[in-house]
């Protein structure tokens, strides 16, 4: 394995639960969410400008649309958000009759469709599900999950990856030519006996997967066989999700969290919840823009 990389603080945002980093090429902005604090943060890496929006619900992802607006994956609904006017328009609901769940991980696949997951607000076992929003229609792909995470896709769009975090296993799921799952997902990478738990993930331009290990203070790179070949170390213990952003998608940004920390842990890790960045010597692979119809 390579010697590894060190991530440094990019934005001292102190998110309770930073998640869902997404690069919007049109505005040259990186967006990420603080789920529990109901905030949407942004950064312009080119000039260092940054800001945030206060939201009316927990949101786990803000993914770019063709016209420059964002689709917000909310607690139990999808809405379209205009950063210029800060206006929202309702798009669709999910699990509205299930008050114990909220959205969690999400990412657009190689076909321009959105995969999103839900989980219990208290991580109730088996309360979570995995969905796909394709041509404006939401379809449940899997249920009985606890903390679905690591949603990402092979460059050719012929495989999806995900994990149910408490299991420690990253799964690989073959997809057909329209991006629908085929057969059963298969175990691909096993972190059940490793420090930390698999959380968010992103695929780079070489088809390798960068996976945040919650609790272990690192992001690891997995090759096509699911073997760790590189790592990024952080000065905080709870990285949640990586994304490639900035000029030529050459920088790896990582959201982190201080969720569940004691007062002592917050003192020991004053940068916890911040947005971090590392130069890993590899470029990212742009996610397609979400298609709503």
**pLDDT, tens digit (0-9, with 9 covering 90-100), for 157-197:** 999 999 999 999 999 999 999 999 999 999 999 999 999 99
Closest alpha carbon to 53 in 10, 82, 94, 28: 82
| 292 found inside a domain | no
Q: Which of 34, 109, 164, 199 is catalytic?
A: 199
DSSP of 219-274, one letter per residue? EEEE-TTS-EEEEEE-SSS-EEEEEEESGGG-EEEEEEB-TT--HHHHHH-TTTT-
Q: What is the pTM of this model?
A: 0.97
pLDDT number for residue 293: 84
Find the angle CA(138)-CA(144)-CA(146) to the nearest 5 degrees. 100
Our CA angle for 113, 119, 122, nearest 5°, is 160
Say if 289 falls within a structural domain. no
> Any catalytic annotation for residue 199?
yes
Residue 293 located in a structural domain: no
Annotated binding site for a divalent metal cation: 19, 149, 199
Give pLDDT, residue 2.
65
pLDDT confidence of residue 3: 67
Domain presence at residue 290:
no
Binding site for substrate: what residues are annotated?
102, 104
Residues of the chain scoring pLDDT < 50: none
What CA–CA distance (Å, rounded) separates 16 from 212? 17
Residue 112 to residues 153, 162, 245, 290, Cα–Cα distance (Å) = 11, 18, 19, 5
Number of structural domains the chain divides into: 1
Q: Binding-site residues, please?
A: 19, 102, 104, 149, 199
Residue 283 falls within a domain, yes or no? Answer: no
Q: Contact at 8 Å (CB) between 196 and 101?
A: no
Return the CATH number at 199. Answer: 2.120.10.30
**What range defines the domain where residue 271 resides?**
5-278
Q: Has residue 56 been placed in a domain?
A: yes
């Amino acid at each position: 394995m390579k010697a590894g990389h060190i991530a440094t603080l990019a934005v001292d945002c102190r998110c309770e639960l930073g998640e869902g980093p997404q690069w919007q090429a049109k505005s040259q902005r990186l967006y990420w969410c603080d789920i529990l604090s109901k905030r949407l943060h942004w950064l312009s890496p080119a000039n260092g400008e940054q800001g945030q929006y206060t939201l009316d619900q927990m949101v786990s992802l803000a993914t770019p649309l063709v016209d420059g607006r964002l689709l917000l994956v909310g607690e139990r609904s999808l809405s379209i958000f205009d950063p210029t006017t800060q206006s929202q328009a309702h798009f669709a609901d999910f699990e509205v009759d299930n008050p114990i769940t909220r959205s969690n991980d999400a990412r657009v696949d190689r076909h321009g469709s959105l995969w999103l997951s839900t989980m219990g607000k208290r991580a109730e076992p088996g309360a979570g599900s995995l969905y796909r929003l394709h041509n404006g229609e939401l379809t449940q792909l899997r249920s009985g999950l606890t903390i679905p995470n690591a949603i990402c896709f092979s460059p050719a769009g012929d495989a999806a990856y995900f994990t149910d975090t408490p299991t420690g296993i990253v799964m690989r799921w073959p997809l057909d030519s329209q991006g629908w799952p085929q057969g059963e997902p298969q175990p691909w990478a096993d972190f059940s006996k490793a420090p930390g738990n698999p959380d968010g993930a992103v695929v780079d331009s070489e088809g390798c997967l960068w996976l945040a290990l919650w609790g272990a203070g690192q992001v690891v790179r997995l090759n096509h066989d699911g073997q760790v070949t590189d790592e990024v170390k952080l000065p905080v213990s709870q990285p949640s999700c990586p994304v490639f952003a900035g000029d030529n998608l050459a920088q790896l940004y990582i959201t982190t969290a201080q969720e569940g920390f004691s007062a002592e842990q917050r003192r020991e890790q004053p940068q916890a919840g911040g947005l971090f960045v590392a130069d890993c010597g590899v470029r990212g692979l742009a996610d397609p823009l979400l298609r709503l119809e």
